[in-house]
Structure 1
Amino acid sequence: MVSIFVFKMSNDITLRSVNVSRYILPLREGGSLPALAEADDGFKYVLKFRGAGHGTKMLISELLGGKIASVLGLNIPELVFAHLDEDFGRTEGDEEIQDLLKGSKGLNLGLHYLSGALAYDPKTEIDPLLASIIVWFDAFTTNIDRTHNNSNLLWWHQELWIIDNGASFYFHHSWKDFDKNALNPFPFIKDHILLSQASKLDEADEIAHNILNDNILREIVDLIPDDWVKWDHISESPDEVRKIYFNFLTKRLSNSAIFLNSAKDARG
């Protein structure tokens, strides 16, 4: 069966805010120890914690990647800002989880839980335009983690869904050479799980350029909360940090031929 791509771009850049009311269970297959939790709106979410290994930089990757995917018309679970109270998790028996929850008080990020979703089977054929847009998107955001070892793709309600963009924007871990990193040809694209099906990369590039622009990218970057970018190792203000992300995205978009050709070469 071939999944047919139905384009449905979202113009809604905003995020709802919820309060986490119940910790259900850890999802230990994730390196950052995400968890399934319930919020005060009655829905379940996969929570990504600010107290995990890469801290708020991983949350920023999820936020920026998720919103860019959404405006490109890709299926991604709803993102929400998820607030953890200071007392949350004190009764948790597992010391590792308790430490994680204590270190994550404040604003975290949640993805709507797709109950009953199945892991994507790489033998499943999908629409080549959909595969191409996902490959383009991951090259644009420098996501190194959508491979055969870990696809971060789910099959839900007969559609392909993207999850886990936390390995995107890895330039921010070194926090230097911003212009150079924006022009990264992204050779890791050779390992992408959908590359072999991405036969319409030029069309994907054209679609992305018709959708993404400075205004949309600025709106997305402006979603980054101030307290997610108050890092000890930098001197920039939150506004200056957001400007670095914005400049990275706009420069990368205007030079998309660099990573587009890298993906084409990898296919060839």
Structure 2
Amino acid sequence: MNYTPPQLRTVNVIRYVTPLREGGSLPAIAEADDEFLYVLKFRGAGQGVKALIAELIGGEIARLLGFKVPELVFANLDEAFGRSEADEEIQDLLKFSVGLNLALHYLSGAITFDPAVTVVDSKLASQIVWFDCLLTNVDRTARNTNMLIWHKELWMIDNGAALYFHHSWNNWKEMATRPFLQVKDHVLLPRANQLDIVDAEFKAILTPEKIRDIVALIPDEWVTYRDFEETPDEVRNIYAEFLITRLTASEIFVTAAKQALYAGI
């Protein structure tokens, strides 16, 4: 199979449609100049560009591994965009988000995944649990599954809470080899009984070269914005090395996930 490094389109936001207030960072449905609707994630929100970086890396790794993920695009927000917004909170958010943001294609008509209604087969459950352990995604619980059913298929959304090592940053090497203890709360853990099989399959797909290609998508504009003292290349290298180290030591998080699974049976 021929491999093509990932690329993201860039769109210009032309209309703010409505806020999605169930999201802690106040994302919004917005229309872009390609006439599509997107769920827009703002760089000026509480977690700043780090949430966008986690969303970008998580979304593109998920796509590479074969999960169904809405298209990600860079979304440019013009300086004049928020001037007519009546809500002061939204106006401030738009003002602090001028420039390059991130957006996911809006899946119109999708419904929230409910584990009591939709049964996920054990292989797919194991794949998603493995993926979230790799990315240290704390936000795929029964209370907030961050998955949708669209056209009778399971779609993964919202990886902004992943890669939480970058909120402290300095001890990333140590955090790369830690088990993911929060897996005990993962909504799909009870059905994830094929983790060893998935570990071997996904490690064969997710090579260091492909990880670096995905991390290379992080715009310079994001890593010079705030919270980073390193150069853009140094920041991208830390993300890549964290993921490569974590992948190399995957037996640590796989073992922890299996222990959490059997403890709950």
TM-score (norm 1): 0.95
Aligned to 2:229: 235
Check if 1:31 corresponds to 2:24. yes
> Structure 1 segments of 4 or more deviating over 3 A?
9-12, 231-234
Which string of whole-angstrom CA distances, capped at 9 and with x for unpartnered residues, describes residues 170-221 of structure 1?
A: 0101111111010120100000000011111111111111100011000000
Residue 196 of structure 2 corresponds to: 202
Identity of aligned residues (%): 60
Report the residue type matching 1:16 in the other structure: R
Superposition deviation, residue 235 in structure 1 = 2.5
- Correspondence for 1:17 among 10, 16, 33: 10
1:92 counterpart = 2:79: no
Q: 1:174 to 1:203 in 2, by over 3 A?
A: same
Aligned length: 260
Tell me the residue number matched to 1:261.
255
The answer (yes or no) to whether the contact 1:58–1:167 under 8 Å persists in 2 is yes
SS of structure 2 residue aligned to 1:160: strand
Residues 24 and 226 of structure 1: is their aligned pair in 2 closer, same or farther, counting only changes over 3 Å?
Answer: same
**Aligned equivalents of 2:159 and 2:3: distance in 1?**
18
Given that 1:81 and 1:110 are in contact with CA atoms closer than 8 Å, whether structure 2 keeps it comes out as yes
Determine the structure 2 residue equivalent to 1:184. 178
Normalized against structure 2, the TM-score is what?
0.96
Q: Which runs of 5+ in 2 are unaligned?
A: none
Letter in 1 for 2:25: S
C-alpha RMSD over aligned residues: 1.3
Deviation, 1:97, is 0.2
SS state at 1:110 partner: strand
CA contact (8 A) 1:77 1:111 kept: yes
1:131 aligns with 2:137: no
CA distance in 2, matches of 1:11, 1:166: 25
Take 1:16 and 1:114, find their aligned partners in 2: how far apart are those partners? 18
Unaligned runs of 5+ in 1: 1-8
CA contact (8 A) 1:27 1:36 kept: yes
Helix, strand or coil: the match of 1:190?
Answer: helix
Matched, 1:163 2:157: yes
What SS does structure 2 have at the residue aligned with 1:82?
strand
Distance in structure 2 (CA, Å) of the matches to 1:201 and 1:11: 28
CA contact (8 A) 1:11 1:71 kept: no
Distance (whole Å) between structure 2 residues aligned to residue 133 and residue 10 of structure 1: 21
Which of residues 240, 246, 260 is equivalent to 1:252? Answer: 246
